[in-house]
Chain A
Amino acid sequence: MIAEILIVACLAVGSFFNILGIIGLLRFPDVYTRMHATTKMTTFGSVFTALAVIIYGVTAYLDSVNSQYAVLAIHTLIAAVALAFTNALGSHAIARGAHRAGIKPVQAVVDRLEEVGP
């Protein structure tokens, strides 16, 4: 019973942050600020969705002692860790590539990287 409430709560939080990430993609002005919304908030949301799956897997394993549920939980955990890692590396690569390609941050009050030069 508690597990069900937790699963629904995790799914709700995950969907909420994913939706806000998409709204941010439409609202923000340039590639850097959009990346704040899309890459970080959707990762946070997806990790919560994965957490719901893990809770489901663990409770189902404890109920039935069928190892396929444990496998589900472990694989989802690996997927969440991989998601967090690839997200950090990927968004850094996109930001660096964008700045090297000469895209200036819109509305920026300060740009210390521009002062240093390429």
Chain B
Amino acid sequence: MIAFLVTFLLVFFIYLLLTAGSGSVGFWSASELIAGAGLGIVVAGITRKFLCRSDNYRMTNPLRFLLIPVYILGPFLIEVTVANIDVAMRVITGRIRPGILRVSSGMKTDLGIFMLANSITLTPGTITVDIDEETNDLFVHKINVTADEEGKTVTPARELFSFADIPAWIRRIAE
């Protein structure tokens, strides 16, 4: 039941975003509100088992939910900007030292692993290539491997980022 409700609210919210500005009830017309609710019930009835597969409703806590935009616009944006300028310099100078590292994530949940892997992939200079599903270690292709990282068998995820402690932020949101 909770799974149905969560999926319905998410679908309804996205429908409202897409049809904002259509009429006079707030931003929406009455027909769009009814159509959105009807579609939400149908879609939630079909797909509730997919969205809430883990039976874990920690993310329905609005505080955790609101932390996501703070995280994306704060520490993550700073990291991405710095890394972009770094890779831009490497494009111009051509100085690269690529390699695939084994990175220990320290995450326990699927959502934590998902967010960390995507954060690493979206940061220029690092791509998540594969995941060891037993130990939750990530294999990360890095464009500039330092001699220090080359020697280590496992690199902590914190050391891939220069300023903000991204893994701690993700742990705060997802675990």
Which residues of A are interface residues toward B (Cβ below 8 A)? Answer: 17, 20-21, 23-24, 27-28, 30, 32-33, 35-37, 40-41, 43-44, 67-68, 70-71, 74-75, 78, 84-85, 87-89, 91-92, 95-96, 99, 105-114, 116
Determine the chain A residues whose CB is within 8 A of the CB of B17 once the complex forms: 74, 78
Determine the chain A residues whose CB is within 8 A of the CB of B20 once the complex forms: 67, 70-71, 74
Asked if residues B100 and A105 are in contact (CB atoms below 8 Å), the reply is yes
| Residue from A35, A84, A95 having most chain B Cβ neighbours under 10 A | A95
Chain A binding surface, main DSSP class: helix
User: B112 on the interface (CB 8 Å rule)?
Assistant: no
Known: A75-B18, A110-B150, A113-B130. A28 touches B121 (CB 8 A): no
Given A28, A33, A109, A113, which contacts B150 in the complex, CB threshold below 8 Å?
Answer: A109
Asked if residues A107 and B96 are in contact (CB atoms below 8 Å), the reply is yes
A-B contact pairs, 24 of them (CB 8 A): A28-B96, A32-B127, A36-B124, A36-B127, A37-B87, A40-B83, A40-B84, A40-B123, A41-B84, A43-B122, A70-B27, A71-B21, A74-B20, A75-B18, A87-B122, A92-B129, A95-B128, A96-B130, A107-B96, A109-B97, A110-B100, A110-B149, A110-B150, A116-B132
Determine the chain A residues whose CB is within 8 A of the CB of B173 once the complex forms: none
Q: Mark B1-20, 1 if CB is under 8 A from A, else 0.
A: 00000000000000001101
Q: Mark B85-129, 1 if CB is under 8 A from A, else 0.
A: 001100110101111111000000000000001100111110111
| Chain B interface residue count, Cβ-Cβ cutoff 8 angstroms | 40
Q: Mark B63-94, 1 if CB is under 8 A from A, else 0.
A: 00000000000000000110110011001101
User: B61 on the interface (CB 8 Å rule)?
Assistant: no
Task: For residue A67, give the distance in angstroms from its CB to the closest CB of chain B.
Answer: 4
User: B139 on the interface (CB 8 Å rule)?
Assistant: yes
